[in-house]
């Protein structure tokens, strides 16, 4: 099974500020972002080919009996998404209040040093997160590791946004979606063994929930 991400913004123009973060919807910004994303997709496909972004073993088709479980997964994942949506806004508001005492440069430098230290001691925890997503889909990490990385990444994104420097949310959201789906899927499979589903299936659904208009499965 191949997972192909068709949002070029995650690779090429992720530096734009999302409308949710700037607290307004600007038509010109949206059209410009869509055009930039479409151009990035075309150029990336032309230069890099049409290879998949993630590899996953074939999964069986979901049975009708799994629908209630996936509805519960969607409700929990949606609640996590709402919470995560508020965190960057809260981080930016806190940064604005601190801006009266600290300049933007000092604030960005402080956050950069903190993230740099994290990268020094745990290089696999920072960055876009594609390797983390791939390991999550492959099920190569223990649940304790997945849960720990999820908590770190859940706070790392909003903290990075508080620096006021360009950044993106699409790829980091895929990590959180895959990890939350895997953890919940593992619990569901233990509680309801008759489902005969693999936790990786829930991880894929969690990824799709993270960005339903940008993630295409084939």
Q: Distance between CA 24 and CA 194 in Å, rounded?
A: 46
Residue indicated by tokens 């123009």: 13
In degrees and rounded to multiples of 5, residue 55 shows phi and psi of -110, 140
pTM of the model: 0.68
Task: Give residue-wise pLDDT tens across range 64-79.
Answer: 777 788 888 888 888 8
Fold adopted by 53-217:
Clc chloride channel (1.10.3080)
For 134-151, write each residue's pLDDT tens digit: 888 888 888 888 888 888
Q: In the chain, which ranges are continuous DSSP H helix? A: 19-22, 27-48, 67-98, 104-121, 130-138, 143-161, 170-191, 199-210
For the chain, the structural domain boundaries read: 53-217
Residue 55 contacts residue 134 (beta carbons within 8 Å): yes
- Residue 215 predicted with pLDDT over 50: no
- Measured between alpha carbons, how far is 79 from 40 in angstroms, rounded to an integer? 31
- Tokens at residue 84, please? 């995560």
């Amino acid at each position: 099974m191949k997972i192909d991400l068709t949002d070029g913004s995650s690779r090429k123009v992720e530096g734009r500020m999302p409308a949710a973060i700037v607290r307004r919807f600007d038509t010109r910004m949206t059209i410009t972002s869509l055009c930039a994303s479409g151009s990035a997709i075309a150029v990336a496909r032309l230069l890099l080919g049409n290879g998949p972004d993630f590899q996953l073993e074939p999964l069986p088709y979901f049975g009708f009996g799994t629908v209630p479980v996936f509805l519960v997964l969607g409700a929990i994942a949606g609640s996590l998404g709402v919470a995560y949506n508020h965190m960057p806004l809260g981080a930016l508001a806190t940064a604005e209040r601190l801006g009266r005492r600290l300049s933007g440069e000092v604030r960005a430098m402080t956050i950069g040093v903190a993230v740099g230290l994290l990268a020094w001691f745990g290089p696999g925890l920072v960055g876009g997160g594609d390797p983390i997503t791939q390991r999550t889909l492959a099920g190569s990490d223990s649940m304790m590791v997945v849960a720990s990385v999820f908590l770190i990444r859940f706070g790392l994104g909003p903290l990075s946004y508080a620096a006021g420097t360009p950044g993106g949310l699409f790829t980091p959201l895929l990590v959180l979606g895959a990890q939350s789906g895997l953890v919940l899927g593992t619990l569901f499979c233990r509680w309801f063994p008759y489902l005969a589903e693999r936790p990786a299936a829930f991880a894929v659904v969690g990824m799709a929930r993270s960005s339903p208009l940008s993630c295409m499965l084939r």
